[in-house]
Every structure is written in structure tokens, then in C-alpha cells.
């Protein structure tokens, strides 16, 4: 088996590689999204806390 045949995937490369790409994007989003949401939550809580203290 040569590298060329590996990349070509027996003619199915047009379907296989995009599927790998989508899977990688979903996995990355599952790692990044909760971190981003947590930061947003802490920002919103800090804003609410500042408003409550200024009243």
C-alpha cells in the first residue's frame, strides 16, 4: 500500500476526508464552546454584580 493509495482511499476520498474534517470541527467545538460560554457567564455575572453594588 502506497501513500498515494492511502490518500485516494479507493475512490472514496471525496467523501471520507470531508467527513473527517467535519468530525474534527465538531470535536474542536465541543472543547472550545463550553470554555467560551463560561467566560461569557463570568462577564455577565461581573456586570450584574457591579450594577448591584452601585445601587
Q: Which residues contact 47 (CB under 8 A, 6 or more apart)?
A: none
Identify the pLDDT of residue 33: 98
For the chain, the domains span: 20-55
Identify the pLDDT of residue 1: 66
Three-state DSSP state, 55: coil
What is the residue-level pLDDT of the chain in tens, covering all 55 positions? 688 887 888 889 999 999 999 999 999 999 999 999 999 999 999 999 999 998 7
CA dihedral of residues 2, 4, 10, 13 (deg, nearest 10): 140
Amino acid at each position: 500500500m502506497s501513500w498515494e493509495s492511502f490518500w485516494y482511499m479507493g475512490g472514496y476520498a471525496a467523501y471520507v476526508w470531508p467527513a473527517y474534517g467535519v468530525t474534527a470541527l465538531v470535536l474542536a467545538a465541543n472543547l472550545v464552546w463550553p470554555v467560551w460560554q463560561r467566560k461569557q457567564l463570568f462577564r455577565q455575572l461581573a456586570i450584574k454584580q457591579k450594577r448591584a453594588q452601585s445601587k
